[in-house]
Amino acid sequence: MVLSDSAKAIFDSMHEGINIIDTNGVIVFANAAYRNFVASENGIDPDKIEGHKLRDLRPGAQLPSVMKSGQPVLQQERKEGDTSYFVNMYPILEYGKTIGAISVVTFMDEASSFRKKIDEVERRNRQILHQVNTSNTVTVSFDLIVARARKSQACKEFAKKIASVKAPVLLMCESGTGKGVYARAIHNASDRSKEPFASVNCALFDPVALETKLFGYQSASSRTQVRTGQIGLFEAVDGGTLFLDEISELNLDMQSKILKVIQDGTIRPVGGIEEIPVNVRIIAASNVDLTEDVVAGRFSSELFYAINSFAIKIPPLRERMEDVPLLVQQILDDLSITLKRRLTITDDALDRLMAHSWPGNVRELRSVLEFSAYTCSDDRITAVNLPENVGKGSARDTMPLYDKVKEFEKMEILRTLEYYGNDLKGKKAAARELGISLASLYAKLK
């Protein structure tokens, strides 16, 4: 994770302490206020904080736990020595995957200024979340979307045309086709490009947790009677774009709440008593036919018509095979940077890739190339390095598409579990990375 010099300058100018860690819990950036705070508490050189594990300096730090859970924690009141402060902690997401976490420390001088400080905390945190999100989305544009095939060219051009439209957008596609990239590209090509972007997979949360995540919550302190709580994503991205992936997984009650946001431009936090105006463009995505869900009564017809005015059907990879060579080169370029070696592919290996049906779409292609990159010995991927089932025209390729998809999904889950572990904690982490619920993970493993 790399911050631009301008972002560092902005954070260093703040009175609040800003601390950013990577997935290993290592401090990758700490602004001047945070460095001085930690140095005074630990008696170390402020300029030597970055590069240390946060919990080596502060064993009780909760930011690594926030990163692992993927859930922000706001307005925790703390005191260390003579220093009283509020701390707010957020996971940092990129392409739906947690890449780190950020904490914001607001120092308190007098208890009598409690209410004023609360308001300031809210304002500052929206600014900071804005900065983090815009930094993460600035490089994602339509130029990154490969579109040589006629179907993908038409899809890309249509998405470009409607990027400036204020209305919601519905992305209809199979899993693994790159809907997250489309959502970010649409946002960055719109007049909201300088505002925040956030995404949430609706299948990963139970209804109560999802409502809190989207709308936030409010509660009143019995001691101060000041309303505190947690802002939701609708408030956090006010003025920007919210990407709701797998919107078909919302229950009918949540569907009605989303419809109200679209129609009225207001939200009511859980436990709140007042409507809060928000200006958020919704981009929704579904890998199931919502018209069938509407007929079956599982999806609100009103919400469907509200999001379906500008619908984009992203074609599966098997319907745009002309894109495969360009996608292969794009993925190998990315892997070359990650692995710090220049990867190439032979013609016979590329022929095998062109002969495959790709039930897992671009996600499967990336997985195959990652596997092959680690198994090739001389930085050149040959047909021998490809998984045995790819593009051989064997009896397996006569399997129905549904069975191929199931087999690929199971392979991806098992590969991810190898990294995170096969216990409950590992399965939860794997489900979060793959963008599915824990129940779906168990079902797909059967």
pLDDT at position 86, please?
79
Confidence of residue 1 (pLDDT cuts 50, 70, 90): low
pLDDT at position 69, please?
85
* pLDDT per position as a tens digit, 215-235: 988 765 433 444 456 788 998
Dist. CA 100–CA 3, nearest whole Å: 12
Dist. CA 85–CA 33, nearest whole Å: 13
Task: Say yes or no to pLDDT of 441 above 70.
Answer: yes
Q: Greater confidence, 206 or 146?
A: 146
In this structure, of 40-54, 57-71, 150-164, the range with the lowest mean pLDDT score is: 40-54
Task: Say yes or no to pLDDT of 394 above 90.
Answer: no
Residue 91 bridge partners (DSSP):
101
Q: Greater confidence, 302 or 391?
A: 302
What's 309's DSSP letter? T
Give Cα 242 to chain centroid, integer Å.
Answer: 11
Q: Any idea which residue has 């509020």 for tokens?
A: 86
Task: Say yes or no to pLDDT of 254 above 50.
Answer: yes
Dist. CA 446–CA 444, nearest whole Å: 6
Return the CATH fold of 320-445: Helicase, Ruva Protein; domain 3 (1.10.8)
- Average predicted confidence (pLDDT) for the chain: 84
pLDDT at position 138, please?
46
Mean pLDDT of 166-185: 93
Dist. CA 300–CA 183, nearest whole Å: 23
Token pair, residue 445, equals 């493993």
Dist. CA 59–CA 51, nearest whole Å: 16
Confidence of residue 304 (pLDDT cuts 50, 70, 90): very high
pLDDT at position 395, please?
38
Q: Taking Cα atoms as reference points, which of 149, 171, 130, 78 lies closest to residue 318?
A: 149
Instruction: Render 353-418 in DSSP notation, one character per residue.
Output: HHT---TTHHHHHHHHHHHHHHH-SSSEE-GGGS-TTSS---GGGGS-HHHHHHHHHHHHHHHHHH
Task: Say yes or no to pLDDT of 435 above 90.
Answer: no
pLDDT at position 392, please?
66
Can you give the residue ranges of every domain in the chain? 5-137, 142-315, 320-445
Q: What is the CATH code of the structural domain delimited by 5-137?
A: 3.30.450.20
pLDDT at position 161, please?
95
Highest mean pLDDT among 281-295, 365-379, 421-435 belongs to 281-295
Q: Are 247 and 284 in contact (CB under 8 A)?
A: yes
Task: Say yes or no to pLDDT of 274 above 70.
Answer: yes
CATH 3.30.390.50 fits domain 142-315: no
Residue partners of 318: CB distance under 8 A and separation at least 6: 357, 358, 359
pLDDT at position 292, please?
92
* pLDDT per position as a tens digit, 322-358: 999 999 999 999 899 888 889 999 999 999 999 999 9
Token pair, residue 61, equals 């730090």
pLDDT at position 355, please?
92
**What percentage of the chain exceeds 70 in pLDDT?**
85
Q: Are 349 and 383 in contact (CB under 8 A)?
A: yes
Half-sphere exposure of 212 (CA within 13 A, CB side): 14
Q: What is the pTM of this model?
A: 0.62
Q: What is the 3-state secondary structure (H, E, C) of 328-359?
A: HHHHHHHHHHHHCCCCEECHHHHHHHHCCCCC
Confidence of residue 77 (pLDDT cuts 50, 70, 90): confident
